[in-house]
Amino acid sequence: MFKNTKLNKTYNFILRFVIISGSYSYIAFQLFDNENYKKSLSFFYIKNSEFYSFFLFLFVFFLMLLNWSIEAYKWRYLIGKIEKISYFKAVKAILAGLSVSTFTPNRIGEFLGRVFILKKSNPWKAIFISTLCSMSQLIITILIGSISLVIYIFKYILTSDFIPAYVLYGFIFLLIIINLIFISLFFNVSFLSKFIVHFIPSKWRKIKNYFKVFSYFKFYELRNTLMMSFLRYIVFSFQFFLLLRFFGLPISFFEGIFLISLIYFIISAIPSIALAELGIRGSVAVGVFSYYYNTSLNLNCNFNFEVIAATSMLWIINLALPAFIGNIFVLKLKFFKE
């Protein structure tokens, strides 16, 4: 027993060291090896001398707190099915998850950081519930992005002869089907778990038990989860819009939210690794805004700096800073227990 306890402590120490080192190294690499970030930071210092700009930036920072507070409440709401936790503990789980996720592909490490905050629950059950939590956010991102894309097609693409109309209508039909499938799977996740469990061999009892967590949720609970995801989507989209205006992009509110939803839609469909993530976000944002201004509106505009600066600053405020703080809670995580 003593030997196992000592080994567990050693393994926990090594894993914590790897996570914290990887998190800090990733953040440092993105911040100090990014010329666009340095330019945007210089511009930020100049603009911050103005009272209005300083107030706007503080409001963006407040929205970051609201953003992750909603996510913490949502995760606590779902994880309560297997373990009741305090709101502060949920916040610690969210921040620890961000730290672990910074250097993992498509942020899959986020689940590990969250579930090991729990004391009583099985980690696999908690991971499945955390997956449901992330799925709700993905559904909102795809749904709103699809609506914006359909509007864009009817307003700017369908009127041109560049792509045949039947291809565009076929694509719109495909978007509708995809959204219906995602929403149906989400609201019928209880039935889906029963269907999966039915085909799992009886000798794999533990795996069957893990999948049963999906059957714990009722329709109204899943609906509430989607509503919280929608609220969070509004918050971080509005953050992005405010930062675009902060860095001088002349764009109206509805125009900005419309294009931002397209950016998030495209990003959600692109697999990414940590080291390329900030570059992918910036490239997608620049591509969407450039295509809109230069192709759809036939304007010869170059807002690359403004868009990349806003994207970089949003990443720093919403991801890098919370992940930096989250490393404090990673120090207390126990990945290997008795």
DSSP code for 103? T
Give the structural domain span for 21: 2-330
Residues 220-273 have pLDDT tens digits of 999 999 999 999 999 999 999 999 988 888 888 999 999 999 999 998 887 665
DSSP code for 299? -
pLDDT of residue 241: 95
DSSP code for 334? -
The tokens of 22 are what?
């990887």
| Helix, strand and coil in the chain, % to nearest 5 | 80, 0, 20
In a domain, 232, yes or no: yes
40 within 8 A of 282, measured Cβ to Cβ: no
260 within 8 A of 240, measured Cβ to Cβ: yes
CA dist., res. 306 & res. 337, Å (int): 48
DSSP code for 162? S
CA dist., res. 289 & res. 297, Å (int): 11
Sequence-distant (≥ 6) Cβ neighbours of residue 79 within 8 angstroms: 85, 90, 118, 121, 126, 129, 130
In a domain, 228, yes or no: yes
CA-based R_g, the chain, Å: 22
The tokens of 229 are what?
């995801």
Per-residue pLDDT of the chain (338 residues; tens, 9 = 90+): 445 566 666 656 666 666 666 665 666 666 665 555 555 555 555 555 556 677 888 899 999 999 999 999 999 999 999 999 999 999 999 998 888 877 676 677 677 778 878 887 788 888 889 989 999 999 999 999 999 999 988 888 877 667 788 888 899 999 999 999 999 999 988 777 776 766 666 666 667 677 788 888 999 999 999 999 999 999 999 999 999 988 888 888 999 999 999 999 998 887 665 545 666 787 888 888 888 888 777 777 777 888 888 888 898 889 888 888 888 877 776 665 55
- Tally the C-alpha atoms within 13 A of residue 61's C-alpha that lie toward its C-beta: 7
**Of 231, 326, 301, 272, which Cα lies nearest the Cα of 22?**
326
In a domain, 337, yes or no: no
Look at the chain and report how many structural domains it folds into.
1
95 within 8 A of 323, measured Cβ to Cβ: yes
Helix or strand run (H / E) with residue 201 = none
CA dist., res. 85 & res. 77, Å (int): 9
pLDDT of residue 275: 47
In a domain, 338, yes or no: no
Longest dimension (CA), the chain: 75
pLDDT of residue 1: 46
82 within 8 A of 210, measured Cβ to Cβ: no
pLDDT of residue 319: 86
In a domain, 335, yes or no: no
333 within 8 A of 96, measured Cβ to Cβ: yes
CA dist., res. 168 & res. 242, Å (int): 32
The tokens of 156 are what?
């700017």
CA dist., res. 322 & res. 330, Å (int): 12
pLDDT of residue 335: 61
In a domain, 216, yes or no: yes
The tokens of 305 are what?
């700096």
